[in-house]
Amino acid sequence: MPVKQTSVGLLRTASSGAAVLALLLGLLLGCTGTAAAAPAGGAHQLTWSVQPSSPKKPDSRSSFTYQGFTPGSTHEDFVAVDNFGTSPETFSVYASDAFNTAAGGFDLLAAGQRPTDVGAWVHLAESSVRVPARSSVIVPFTVTVPDNATPGFHVGGIVASLSSLDTAADGSQVRVDRRVGVRIYLQVTGPLRPALRVEHYQVQYHDSWNPTRPGSATVSYTLANTGNVPLAARQSLHSAGVLGVFGANQKLADAPLLLPGNSIRLTVQVPRAWPGLQLDTSLRVTPFTSIVTLAQPPASVDASGSAWAVPWVWLAIVIALALIWWGRRRLRRRRAARAQLRSAADRTPVSA
């Protein structure tokens, strides 16, 4: 039977507006999540969440953020699985490693993939919990940092998933795994190296067919987290033609939170780029993080690139005008030469 795996915190089926709002808020906060789904048959509405907890009840933490853990150390904590539905449900509970999706989102490895980082360091007291309707179950867990753990942040999450059979559009039965999770940020003691790098920087210029309008440009690059701290980044772009003509500054959207060892391909549009023979662009990326307070801000990263920005439409117009002028001039010369020949013929005496 085919199995469909959904991402952490994403809805697989239709849900109520309130549940969607709660889910979006949880994702924006970067931590707890809420999922809503209608199980097969549509018998009832199911909504659940996962959040940090004390031994007795959920607490105010938005994620599991651990700092200053030494290799070989252990730590005990609790996670709450909340069932807001109208019937009891059995959830699978497990920990996994985090990664950035192609769009820069936060996700965890699929259930069938074995974690090798912080997800493997978390040992839950239960791998499956049955939660009564409108109730919570608190699951203890232990984090054991291996002796060879590298300094810096290790990122993952704890997931509560619900598997059910759905009917596909073609009538076949498909097993769907709906899951929602809470993030883990664990810092192992040692030097913190916050660093981003810009790779594969490319510029493409697109001329406008209207000679009175500017063209546009596309700047694409890969932003990679080469350090050991999760980092987002503020970005700005400067573009100009030869000798700085048509210069313009552009504030870009912030780059998403990149996890250590992850990268994302970004594309930026320059909407007004005049054809100044060559288009020079320079990008500045300024990293920042809200996960940890750093002794000093991370260093900014600069990248630059150029592309030919030839005004082909203007050149075509100039060439066309030049050809018209040359053609008319040549025609006038031919007409003048023929006129001279006729005049000379008229003046030549005719012999008897």
Write the pLDDT tens digit of every residue in 185-239: 999 999 999 999 999 999 999 987 777 778 899 999 999 999 999 999 999 999 9
Q: Which residue has the tokens 């009840």?
A: 57
Letter string b/e over residues 54-86, b meaning 16 or more CB atoms within 10 A of that residue's CB: eeeebeeeebbbbeebeeeeeeebbbbbbbbbe
The reported pLDDT for the residue numbered 169 is 81
Output the average pLDDT for the chain.
84
3-state helix, strand, coil in the chain (%, to 5): 15, 50, 35
Statement: residue 73 has pLDDT above 50: yes
24 alpha-carbon distance from chain centroid:
16
CB 254 within 8 A of CB 232: yes
Per-residue confidence band for 351, with pLDDT thresholds at 50, 70 and 90: low
**pLDDT score, position 328:** 82
- Whose tokens are 């909340």? That residue is 82
User: In the chain, what is the straight-line distance between the N-terminal and C-terminal CA atoms, in Å?
Assistant: 114
Predicted confidence (pLDDT) at residue 11 exceeds the cutoff of 60: no
Amino acid letter, residue 231: L
Would you state the structure tokens that stand for residue 71, as one six-digit string?
Answer: 């290799």
Parallel, antiparallel, or unpaired for β 122-124 and 173-188? unpaired
Query: Could you tell me which residue, 14 or 19, shows the higher pLDDT?
Result: 19
More confident residue, 274 or 304: 304
pLDDT tens profile 229-255: 999 999 999 999 877 778 899 999 999
Which of 200, 73, 41 lies closest to 145 in space, CA to CA? Answer: 73
Are 13 and 41 within 8 A, CB to CB? no
Whether the per-residue pLDDT at 40 is higher than 50: the answer is no
Query: Model confidence over 298-332: pLDDT tens digits?
Result: 999 999 999 987 766 656 667 777 888 888 888 88
Cβ distance 258 to 223 under 8 Å? Answer: yes
Beta bridge pairs of residue 142? 76, 123
Contact yes or no for 165/250 (Cβ under 8 A): no
Hunting for tokens 């040359």 — which residue is that?
A: 326
Pairwise CA distance, residues 157 & 180, whole Å: 10
pLDDT for 342: 77
Q: Is 127 exposed, middle or buried (0-12, 13-18, 19+ CB in 10 A)?
A: exposed
The pLDDT, as a whole number, for residue 173 is 80
The structure tokens 């608190």 sit at 138
Q: What's the pLDDT band for 12 if we cut at 50, 70, 90?
A: very low
pTM metric for this prediction = 0.77
Residue 217 to residues 81, 115, 229, 249: CA-CA distances in angstroms? Answer: 49, 41, 33, 14
Instruction: Give me the pLDDT at residue 111, please.
Output: 86
Would the pLDDT of 293 be above 50? Answer: yes
Beta bridge partners of 31: none
Q: How many CB atoms lie within 10 A of CB 289?
A: 19
How many percent of the chain have pLDDT more than 70? 83
On the question of pLDDT at 21 being above 50, the answer is: no
On the question of pLDDT at 29 being above 70, the answer is no
Rg of the chain over all Cα atoms, to the nearest angstrom: 33
Residues in CB range of 329: below 8 A, 6 or more apart: none
How far, rounded to the nearest angstrom, does the alpha carbon of residue 36 sit from its chain's CA centroid? Answer: 24
Say which DSSP state 291 is in.
S
